[in-house]
């Protein structure tokens, strides 16, 4: 192996040669699987093998660096691309900073439009497509919280409709003009009956009829107008969670509201949502019933229960998991990710072209020095985030009054030192392509 690894051959290519194969210049061979996962047959060339890397700028500013599987350093976008990632998802919050001096960030990676432009351009330059996630909030938006941006706090529905349209259109214009290869646009994040201070969390009406559907449509109108202005075909994506229990119901409500979108996207985390066979069934039903493309916008699975930074993790033991269908290990994580990809690919068995792919959520969000989290915004929330929540509630429940660290450091595809784990290479292994596993490595031939 020592001699085979000379002259920049990747470990994956070297392994293939040891097994009797050849490298890129010596003919076509079956690639060696780094993750241990097999190839998925008949996978479309444009199948989405994506990651959400929204926090990476803040992490790099705090001193984090990333490494290939063999420990050699590299730019994270090169590492991801070499592992088979072809798409990135980037969230956008309107103004994730405190309204009073010193205007401290709320944390979570400081994910404003500027951050999206920087990351989107880096991804584009690395040959990846970009999926923009508009949350229409100043901080995390999910089924438990959907606060309007500070600037929109007192807006009526009509004003919010204008605000959603204008923010979506103007942001996309800036991104495209900056050279970001945007291909998909998400209108709201995990909008299970609420969005931007409207709907069920406010009035206990969950069917999208009290403003949520109207706001979604305004976001879709903005994308339509961007497509006309730029000659693009950006896909309009809606995003829900609790897929197995409620996904078909939400698809029905969207249809009743007449929202003109292209892709039904779901969060699907195997430790919370269950079996990927159920995921495939529900998404296939939605695609068939409503003629919508489908995908998983967020997935993830723990590789350890260890805590890298002392700040509580979302998953800290089996008691925080509803389902434990996989080992909590690197190999278990790889299997979970493979099964999600395989389930989405299975939609295409009966509906070719409808199962688009999946995104792994924040695979790079490793733990950092807790003392620096508030300064760089690298934790899931900073002490300033509670000030935002108190604009809408009397107590701080969903955010924080103290600086927090990563709640995801045991869910990443990089270890606590920033080195890629074998699970990262599922992205290439599912298509039977050799990976770049070293800074001097060479990818195998497709």
Active-site positions read 190, 298
Which sign does the torsion angle of CA 207, 135, 84, 123 carry?
positive
Reported as half-sphere exposure (CB side, CA atoms, 13 A), residue 226 has a value of 27
Largest CA distance in the chain: 69
Residues forming a β-bridge with 74: 66
- According to DSSP, residue 407 is labeled S
- As a whole number of angstroms, the distance between CA 250 and CA 148 comes to 21
Residues in the chain, total: 446
**Percent helix / strand / coil, the chain, rounded to 5:** 35, 15, 50
Are 143 and 242 in contact by the 8 Å Cβ rule? The answer is yes
Closest residue by Cα to residue 91 from 60, 135, 149, 152: 135
Are 250 and 241 in contact by the 8 Å Cβ rule? The answer is no
Burial zone of 402 (CB within 10 Å; 0-12 exposed, 13-18 middle, 19+ buried): middle
């Amino acid at each position: 192996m020592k001699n085979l690894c000379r002259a920049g051959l990747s470990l994956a290519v070297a392994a293939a040669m040891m097994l009797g194969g050849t490298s890129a210049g010596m003919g076509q061979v079956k690639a060696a699987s780094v993750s241990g996962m097999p190839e998925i047959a008949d996978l479309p060339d444009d199948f989405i093998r994506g990651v959400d890397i929204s926090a990476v700028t803040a992490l790099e500013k705090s001193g984090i660096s990333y490494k290939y599987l063999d420990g050699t350093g590299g730019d994270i976008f090169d590492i991801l691309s070499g592992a088979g990632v072809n798409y990135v998802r980037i969230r956008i919050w309107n103004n994730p900073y405190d309204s009073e001096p010193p205007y401290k960030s709320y944390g979570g990676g400081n994910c404003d439009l500027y951050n999206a432009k920087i990351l989107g351009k880096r991804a584009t330059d690395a040959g990846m497509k970009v999926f923009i996630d508009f949350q229409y909030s100043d901080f995390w938006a999910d089924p438990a919280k959907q606060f309007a941006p500070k600037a929109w706090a007192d807006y009526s529905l009509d004003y919010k409709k204008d605000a959603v349209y204008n923010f979506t259109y103007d942001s996309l214009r800036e991104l495209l003009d900056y050279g970001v290869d945007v291909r998909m646009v998400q209108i709201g994040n995990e909008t299970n009956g609420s969005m931007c201070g409207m709907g069920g969390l406010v009035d206990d009406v969950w069917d999208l009829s009290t403003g949520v559907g109207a706001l979604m449509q305004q976001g879709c109108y903005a994308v339509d107008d961007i497509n006309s202005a730029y000659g693009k075909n950006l896909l309009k994506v809606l995003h829900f969670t609790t897929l197995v229990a409620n996904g078909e119901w939400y698809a029905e409500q969207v249809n009743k509201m007449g929202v003109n979108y292209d892709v039904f996207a779901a969060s699907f985390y195997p430790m919370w949502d269950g079996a990927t066979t159920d995921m495939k069934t529900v998404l296939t039903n939605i695609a068939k019933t409503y003629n919508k493309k489908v995908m998983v916008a967020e997935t993830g699975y723990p590789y350890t229960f260890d805590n890298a930074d002392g700040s509580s993790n979302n998953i800290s033991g089996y008691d925080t998991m509803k389902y434990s269908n996989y080992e909590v290990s690197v190999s278990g994580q790889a299997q979970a990710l493979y099964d999600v990809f395989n389930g989405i690919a299975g939609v295409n068995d009966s509906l070719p072209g409808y199962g688009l792919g999946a995104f792994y959520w924040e695979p790079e969000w490793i733990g950092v020095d807790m003392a620096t989290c508030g300064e760089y915004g690298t934790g899931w929330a900073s002490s300033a985030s509670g000030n935002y929540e108190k604009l809408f509630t009397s107590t701080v429940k969903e955010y924080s009054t103290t600086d927090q660290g990563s709640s995801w450091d045991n869910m990443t595809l990089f270890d606590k030192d920033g080195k890629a784990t074998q699970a990262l290479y599922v992205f290439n292994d599912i298509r039977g392509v050799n990976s770049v596993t070293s800074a001097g490595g060479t990818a195998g031939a497709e």
